[in-house]
Protein backbone atom coordinates (compact mmCIF):
# COMPACT_ATOMS: atom_id res chain seq x y z
CA UNK A 1 0.00 0.00 0.00
CA UNK A 2 1.42 3.39 -0.99
CA UNK A 3 0.15 6.18 1.23
CA UNK A 4 1.88 9.44 1.97
CA UNK A 5 3.64 9.92 5.27
CA UNK A 6 5.06 13.37 5.73
CA UNK A 7 4.44 14.03 2.02
CA UNK A 8 6.52 11.03 0.92
CA UNK A 9 5.30 7.68 -0.35
CA UNK A 10 5.44 4.81 2.15
CA UNK A 11 8.07 3.09 0.00
CA UNK A 12 10.45 5.96 0.79
CA UNK A 13 11.83 8.90 -1.13
CA UNK A 14 12.92 8.42 -4.72
CA UNK A 15 16.29 9.43 -6.14
CA UNK A 16 14.57 12.52 -7.51
CA UNK A 17 13.24 13.40 -4.05
CA UNK A 18 16.76 13.11 -2.63
CA UNK A 19 18.26 15.08 -5.56
CA UNK A 20 15.70 17.85 -5.01
CA UNK A 21 16.54 18.02 -1.32
CA UNK A 22 20.29 18.12 -2.02
CA UNK A 23 19.82 20.74 -4.75
CA UNK A 24 17.77 22.94 -2.44
CA UNK A 25 20.34 22.57 0.35
CA UNK A 26 23.22 23.32 -2.01
CA UNK A 27 21.48 26.36 -3.51
CA UNK A 28 20.79 27.78 -0.03
CA UNK A 29 24.50 27.47 0.77
CA UNK A 30 25.46 29.12 -2.52
CA UNK A 31 23.01 32.00 -2.00
CA UNK A 32 24.32 32.48 1.55
CA UNK A 33 27.78 33.00 0.01
CA UNK A 34 26.42 35.44 -2.57
CA UNK A 35 26.79 32.93 -5.43
CA UNK A 36 24.27 32.05 -8.09
CA UNK A 37 22.23 28.91 -7.52
CA UNK A 38 22.70 25.92 -9.78
CA UNK A 39 20.05 25.07 -12.35
CA UNK A 40 20.70 21.35 -12.51
CA UNK A 41 22.85 18.70 -10.95
CA UNK A 42 24.27 16.17 -13.41
CA UNK A 43 25.07 12.74 -12.00
CA UNK A 44 28.81 13.38 -12.21
CA UNK A 45 28.67 16.71 -10.32
CA UNK A 46 31.20 16.48 -7.48
CA UNK A 47 29.97 18.45 -4.48
CA UNK A 48 33.45 18.90 -2.98
CA UNK A 49 35.70 19.23 -6.04
CA UNK A 50 33.35 21.82 -7.51
CA UNK A 51 33.85 23.94 -4.41
CA UNK A 52 30.10 24.08 -3.84
CA UNK A 53 30.49 22.48 -0.40
CA UNK A 54 33.40 21.97 1.95
CA UNK A 55 33.65 18.81 4.06
CA UNK A 56 31.85 20.39 7.03
CA UNK A 57 28.94 21.57 4.84
CA UNK A 58 28.80 18.09 3.27
CA UNK A 59 28.39 16.49 6.71
CA UNK A 60 25.79 19.15 7.55
CA UNK A 61 23.90 18.26 4.36
CA UNK A 62 23.91 14.55 5.25
CA UNK A 63 22.65 15.29 8.77
CA UNK A 64 19.94 17.57 7.33
CA UNK A 65 18.88 14.83 4.90
CA UNK A 66 18.49 12.35 7.76
CA UNK A 67 16.37 14.85 9.67
CA UNK A 68 14.33 15.86 6.61
CA UNK A 69 13.53 12.27 5.64
CA UNK A 70 13.23 11.19 9.31
CA UNK A 71 15.67 8.31 8.91
CA UNK A 72 19.26 7.58 9.82
CA UNK A 73 21.60 7.25 6.84
CA UNK A 74 24.39 4.68 7.24
CA UNK A 75 27.35 5.49 4.99
CA UNK A 76 29.39 2.41 5.88
CA UNK A 77 28.69 0.70 2.52
CA UNK A 78 29.07 3.78 0.31
CA UNK A 79 32.19 3.75 -1.85
CA UNK A 80 34.30 6.77 -0.74
CA UNK A 81 35.12 7.44 -4.41
CA UNK A 82 31.39 7.89 -5.12
CA UNK A 83 30.40 9.69 -1.92
CA UNK A 84 30.56 13.24 -3.25
CA UNK A 85 29.15 12.58 -6.75
CA UNK A 86 25.51 13.64 -6.85
CA UNK A 87 24.20 10.70 -8.93
CA UNK A 88 25.68 7.85 -6.89
CA UNK A 89 25.01 9.73 -3.66
CA UNK A 90 21.30 10.22 -4.48
CA UNK A 91 20.98 6.57 -5.49
CA UNK A 92 22.66 5.38 -2.28
CA UNK A 93 20.66 7.67 0.01
CA UNK A 94 17.32 6.77 -1.60
CA UNK A 95 18.18 3.08 -1.15
CA UNK A 96 19.14 3.71 2.50
CA UNK A 97 15.83 5.50 3.11
CA UNK A 98 13.71 2.76 1.57
CA UNK A 99 11.82 0.85 4.28
CA UNK A 100 13.09 -2.65 4.87
CA UNK A 101 10.74 -5.52 5.68
CA UNK A 102 10.67 -6.47 9.37
List, for residues 6-64, the tens digit of each pLDDT value.
454 557 889 999 999 999 999 999 999 999 998 888 999 999 999 999 999 999 999 99
CA–CA gap between residue 83 and residue 13 (Å, rounded): 19
Residues 6+ apart with CB under 8 A from 25: 61, 64, 65
Cβ atoms of 12 and 6 within 8 Å: the answer is: no
Q: pTM for the whole thing?
A: 0.83
pLDDT tens per residue, range 57-85? 999 999 999 999 998 888 888 888 889 99
Amino acid sequence: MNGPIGGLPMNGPTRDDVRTFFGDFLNRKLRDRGQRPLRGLPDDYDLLLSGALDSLAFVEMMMAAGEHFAREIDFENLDPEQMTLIGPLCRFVSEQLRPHPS
